[in-house]
Chain A
Amino acid sequence: MLSRRVIPCLDVRDGKLTKGVKFQGNVDIGDPVEMAAFYYEQGADELVFYDITASSDHRDIMIEVVRRVAETIFMPFSVGGGLRTVSDMYDVLLAGAEKVSVNSSAVQDPQVIAEGARQFGSQCVVLGMDVLKVGVRPEIPSGYEIVIHGGRKHMGLDALAWAKQAEDLGAGEICLNSIDADGTRQGYELTLTRMISRAVSIPVIASGGAGTPQHLAEVLTEGAADAALIASMTHYGDYTVAQIKDYLHQAGIKVRRHW
Chain B
Amino acid sequence: MIAIIDYEAGNLTSVERAVKHLGGDCAVTRDLGLIAGADRVIFPGVGAAGAAMASLRRLGLDQALADAVAAGKPVLGICLGTQIIFQRSDEDLAGCLGLMAGKVVRFAEDMPGQDGLRLKVPHMGWNQVRWVRDHPVFAGVDPEAEYYFVHSYHPLPQDQADVVGLTEYGVTFASVVARDNLVATQFHPEKSGRPGLQILRNFLAWDGKP
Interface residues of A (CB under 8 A from B): 1-5, 40, 45, 70-71, 74-76, 93-94, 96, 98, 120-124, 172-173, 198, 201-203, 221, 224, 226-227, 256-259
Contact = CB atoms under 8 A, between A and B. Distances in A.
Contact of A259 (B46, B150, B168, B194): B194
B109 interface: yes
B13 A96 contact: yes
A94 B16 CA distance: 12
Contacts of A122: 122
Contact of B193 (A40, A121, A227): A40
B14 A96 contact: yes
Interface range on chain B: under 10, 10 to 19, 20 to 34, or 35 or more? 35 or more
Contacts of B121: 201
A75 B192 contact: yes
A3 B193 contact: no
B145 A259 contact: yes
25 contacts: A1-B128, A3-B126, A3-B146, A5-B125, A45-B126, A70-B14, A74-B17, A74-B18, A74-B191, A74-B192, A74-B197, A75-B193, A76-B191, A96-B17, A98-B11, A121-B10, A121-B46, A122-B122, A124-B11, A124-B46, A221-B115, A224-B117, A226-B124, A226-B125, A257-B144
Contacts of B126: 2-3, 5, 45, 256
A33 to B, nearest CB: 14
B114 interface: yes
Nearest to B48: A121
Contacts of A227: 125
Contact of A173 (B48, B117, B124, B148): B124
B196 A74 contact: yes
A2 B21 CA distance: 28
Contact of A203 (B13, B114, B124, B190): B124
Interface in B3-31: 10-11, 13-14, 17-18, 21
